[in-house]
Amino acid sequence: MSARIFIWVGHPRETSLSHGMADAYARGASAGGAEIRRMHLSDMQFDPDLHDGYHARKTLEPCLEEWRANILWANHVCWAYPQWWGGMPAKMKGVIDRAYLPGFAMRYHDDDPWWDKLLAGRSADVLMTADGPAWFDQVSYGRPAKLQVENLVLKFAGIKPVRTLQVGTVKDAKPEKIEAWLKQAEARGAAAARRLRA
């Protein structure tokens, strides 16, 4: 099978550790023979609000159309972003609200409470940075950001398995710690390419 990986950097700033993690992941995936497409949230210009919910559809801006096309093209996605207040950045959530809609990500049934998962057949890696270690996030809060993206976004639309690498504490990390995280991200990319080509 060909390895087609869509990497999305969900940090609203133009440079960040999330970008570095995505760079490392892409190196590993490319070395493993994967074809890569990539988008940065910082380059995306769109209205993040779904004003009328699902009652009225808004025309998607070109960047949102491109984002959807890249997900459909890919057989694996990688999202790299920071955990802020137990979830993803607001602008990143805006992309999900606007573009990850019924008819694209899922289709609800008329006669029962279930839904069709329209993005099945894809897998995912999540590279999440945080200002606390993953063990503390687990013990104190149950890792809500991980549960949100894995269960309520990706798996909800049929994207699985989802493998999450959560690193921290970022705010006082020494260069050698950051380098170790980057190596982990690169290894994740290489492993994804290997699995997809098997």
- On whether the CB atoms of residues 21 and 182 are closer than 8 A, the answer is yes
Rounded CA-CA distance 36/94 in Å is 24
Rounded CA-CA distance 157/37 in Å is 20
Q: What superfamily in CATH does domain 4-197 come from?
A: Flavodoxin domain (3.40.50.360)
Rounded CA-CA distance 18/42 in Å is 12
Dihedral sign, CA of 191, 195, 197, 198? positive
Angle at Cα 63 formed by Cα 196 and Cα 57, nearest 5°? 105
Rounded CA-CA distance 119/96 in Å is 14
* Average pLDDT score over residue span 168-181: 97
- State the pLDDT confidence band at 1, using cuts at 50, 70 and 90: confident
- State the pLDDT confidence band at 154, using cuts at 50, 70 and 90: very high
Rounded CA-CA distance 198/189 in Å is 14
pLDDT of residue 55: 87
Place of tokens 């990497």: 7
The predicted-structure confidence for 87-124, as pLDDT tens digits, reads as follows 999 999 999 999 999 999 999 999 999 999 999 999 99
The predicted-structure confidence for 53-97, as pLDDT tens digits, reads as follows 888 889 999 999 999 999 999 999 999 999 999 999 999 999 999
Exposure string of 158-187, with b = 16+ CB inside 10 Å and e = fewer, is bbbebbbbbbbebeebeeeebeebbebbbe
Mean pLDDT, the chain, rounded, equals: 97
